[in-house]
Amino acid sequence: MTATRVLVLNSGSSSVKYQLLDMSDSSRLAVGLVERIGEETSRLKHTPLATGESRETNGPIADHEAALKAVAEELAKDGLGLDSPELAAIGHRVVHGGKTFTEPTVVDDAVLAEIERLIPVAPLHNPANLTGIRTAQALRPDLPQVAVFDTAFHTTMPEAAARYAIDVKTADEHRIRRYGFHGTSHAYVSRATAELLGKAPEEVNVIVLHLGNGASASAVERGRCVDTSMGLTPLEGLVMGTRSGDMDPAVIFHLMRVGGMSTDEIDTLLNKKSGLIGLCGDNDMREIRRRIDEGAEDAAQARLAFDIYIHRLKKYIGAYYAVLGRVDAVAFTAGVGENAAPVREAAIAGLEALGLAVDGELNAVRSGEPRLISPEGARVAVAVVPTDEELEIADQTYALVRNGNA
């Protein structure tokens, strides 16, 4: 029997999203999510696609190792356990691959060591990714574990976009440059956008707006990334759920000298207590829109947070329009981009001179399919293109192991 199944693990700082796929037809066998790892109120939601009936387990899950073991138990209940001979490989999302990894990579000790070395530049993500890999290795030591890096798609950025304008020697010594993240999503969505336009990826220039809890924009020229908004770490760029995005770096010196804050306190402030949550107390765009739309008592604060979020997004659309010179499509994706029509409308509003517009009726359509929301005949397409990082990771993982390369 040929092993055609791939388990994909997308380990975040406090969550694990997973999917088991059969790559003979790219179908899903099971999907699930473990949330709030490390808290008392952890939750595992598991759905075997054969029945479509979800099971939920609530109660403390201490760490990512325990989370993955719980996932393995749930899969086993459906006869989809990790001991299955049909499993060909386990694919892992790894957030930071530095400049080392430009392709999906079969994990060995040297690869693990390099992912570990990169922890200081992805402190929220790489430790969780490592635990995911090590736990999976312990459960199935005989299987290839494949790392698919968020940074890989961005390694094509030219030096002019990737370098910060700081002393070159210092930058090189500490490997300070812009790496970019969410690359698996930017790659998948830019390709799917080309397909929606009936073109090959090499024929189009696309601005991809990945708006989830973390958020980033990218400029994709003929299938290759030429700029992206995240930098050395996933902190730079757009306003995010809990991260500040761009600001004058002197804010940090000021907080240290005048505010008396420590490096760790500022790190926590900018990564976990800023962005939408810092501006208005909510990091969920649904809640922010509810406050605005219902005219809640604290609507003004939510409105300001929304406006700052949109202002930054619009600046990046303009910047990447200039970087690309000619734009064929702007694609919205991830939780906010796929679901929040008011965000899409506001971000594109006023950009008619650039050939960009949103049709109100098309924008209001709710669907899981890629779709155009620009008016018929528009010079530049505006699209909603659902991302599928797990499918992309599974594809890349299977492509690497199916020919016995592993």
Ligand X SMILES: CC(=O)OP(=O)(O)O
> Taking CB positions, which residue lies at the least distance from Mg ion?
212
The token pair that represents 386 in the structure block: 């659902």
The span of 48-56, 83-91, 319-327, 333-341 binding ligand ADP (CB under 6 A) equals 333-341
What is the total count of residues that contact Mg ion (CB under 5 A)?
A: 1
Is position 328 annotated as part of the catalytic site? no
- Which of 6, 95, 143, 343 is the binder for ligand X (CB under 6 A)? 95
Residue 21 annotated as lining a ligand binding site: no
Q: Among 150, 227, 282, 395, which one carries the catalytic annotation?
A: 150
For ligand ADP, the closer CB: 282 or 395: 282
Under rule CB under 5 A, residue 212 binds Mg ion: yes
Under rule CB under 5 A, residue 183 binds Mg ion: no
- Which of 212, 237, 245, 275 is the binder for ligand X (CB under 6 A)? 212
| C-alpha to C-alpha distance for 47 and 18, rounded to whole angstroms | 10
Task: Tell me the Cα Rg of the chain.
Answer: 21
Q: Which amino acid is at 281?
A: G
Under rule CB under 6 A, residue 388 binds ligand X: no
For ligand ADP, the closer CB: 48 or 214: 214
- Which of 94, 285, 292, 313 is the binder for ligand ADP (CB under 6 A)? 285
Under rule CB under 5 A, residue 91 binds Mg ion: no
Residue 283 annotated as lining a ligand binding site: no
For ligand X, the closer CB: 162 or 356: 162
List residues binding Mg ion (CB under 5 A): 212
Q: Which residues bind ligand ADP (CB under 6 A)?
A: 212-214, 241, 283-286, 334-336, 339-340
Binding site listing: 10, 17, 93, 210-214, 284-286, 335-339, 389
**Residues identified as active-site:** 150
